[in-house]
Amino acid sequence: MALYGAPVWAEHLNAQTRALLRSPQRSMALRIIRGYRTISCEAALILARTPPWDLEARVLSEIYYRTVEFKQRGDRVSLELTTRWRRQARIIIMRTWEDRLATPTAGRAVAAAFRPHLETWITHCKGTLTFRMVQMFTGHGCFGHYLHCTARREPTTQCHHCDHGDDTAQHTLEDCPAWAEQRAVLCATIGYDLSLPAIVTAMVRSSQGYDAIADFCEAVISQKEAAEREREADVAADPVRRRRGGRRRAIHERQLPP
């Protein structure tokens, strides 16, 4: 429905109307990936494998006007021809999207990691992205850094599973000693480079890599979630972590995955 009448408006989008298109697409993408609502539009669209609608609209417009031109000349527009146009248009969409992701306004880490593999990720990589993988790729999830700096639910960024002062997704992946066993299993499959670009490369290269990363995220994040639930239940023991109520509860619930 969002692309209804695209040939009429696709070439007349400005920053304001483009933002109007982005907002509902971001909401839909967040629902698809079941990500936290603080995730940027750029990251959400990549993870949901949905090209920006303004690019899709330009393709629809291009095909429409080509069809009109052919018909005005009295030429027949065959299914084969429109299929070829769509294929060509798809290539243009992906290249334009890749160009945009070279200088993203947000979601830089996700954009940098996925951009070299965008075509493969969107069209060929069949694995299911779990919401725990989304947490690991975006850093928006059960990490001290996120819970303190963005969600405002923790008094510090401290890792609760070791004495590290900044619990990020990368700390969880690469360093936290609490997950050494799970990390050893992961490294046995994908190697010892656990940077986000290396993780994404391993994931799109083979189903074994994909499964190993999914297993790591499920095993580790589920334990971090359980530990967080325990801390939430133990609010009386820590006066800084008071139970959320009223406005704080509403803010917290808005940040949870849909």
The residues binding Zn ion (CB under 5 A) are 159, 161-162, 164, 176
**Collapsing DSSP states into helix, strand and coil, what is residue 148?**
helix
Among residues 22 and 164, whose Cβ is nearest to Zn ion? 164
Among residues 168 and 201, whose Cβ is nearest to Zn ion? 168
CB of 160 to Zn ion, least distance (A): 8
Of the CA atoms within 13 Å of residue 6, those in its CB half-sphere come to 19
CB of 170 to Zn ion, least distance (A): 11
What does the alpha-carbon distance between residue 55 and residue 62 come to, in Å, rounded to a whole number?
11
AA letter at 258:
P
**Collapsing DSSP states into helix, strand and coil, what is residue 73?**
coil
DSSP assignments along 156-200, one per residue: S---SSSS-S---HHIIIII-GGGHHHHHHHHHHH-S--SHHHHH
CB of 223 to Zn ion, least distance (A): 12
Among residues 22 and 171, whose Cβ is nearest to Zn ion? 171
CB of 173 to Zn ion, least distance (A): 11
Give the phi and the psi of residue 184 in degrees, each rounded to 5: -60, -40
Among residues 118 and 199, whose Cβ is nearest to Zn ion? 199
CB of 159 to Zn ion, least distance (A): 3
End-to-end, the C-alpha distance of the chain in Å comes to: 21
List Cβ neighbours of 174 (8 Å cut-off, separation of 6 or more).
183, 194, 195
Among residues 30 and 178, whose Cβ is nearest to Zn ion? 178
CB of 144 to Zn ion, least distance (A): 8
C-alpha of 153 from chain center: 22
What does the alpha-carbon distance between residue 97 and residue 116 come to, in Å, rounded to a whole number?
12
Q: Which long-range CB contacts under 8 A does 173-176 form with residues at least 24 apart?
A: 173/136, 173/199, 173/216
CB of 221 to Zn ion, least distance (A): 13
**Collapsing DSSP states into helix, strand and coil, what is residue 232?**
helix
What does the alpha-carbon distance between residue 13 and residue 60 come to, in Å, rounded to a whole number?
14
Among residues 153 and 161, whose Cβ is nearest to Zn ion? 161
Among residues 101 and 169, whose Cβ is nearest to Zn ion? 169
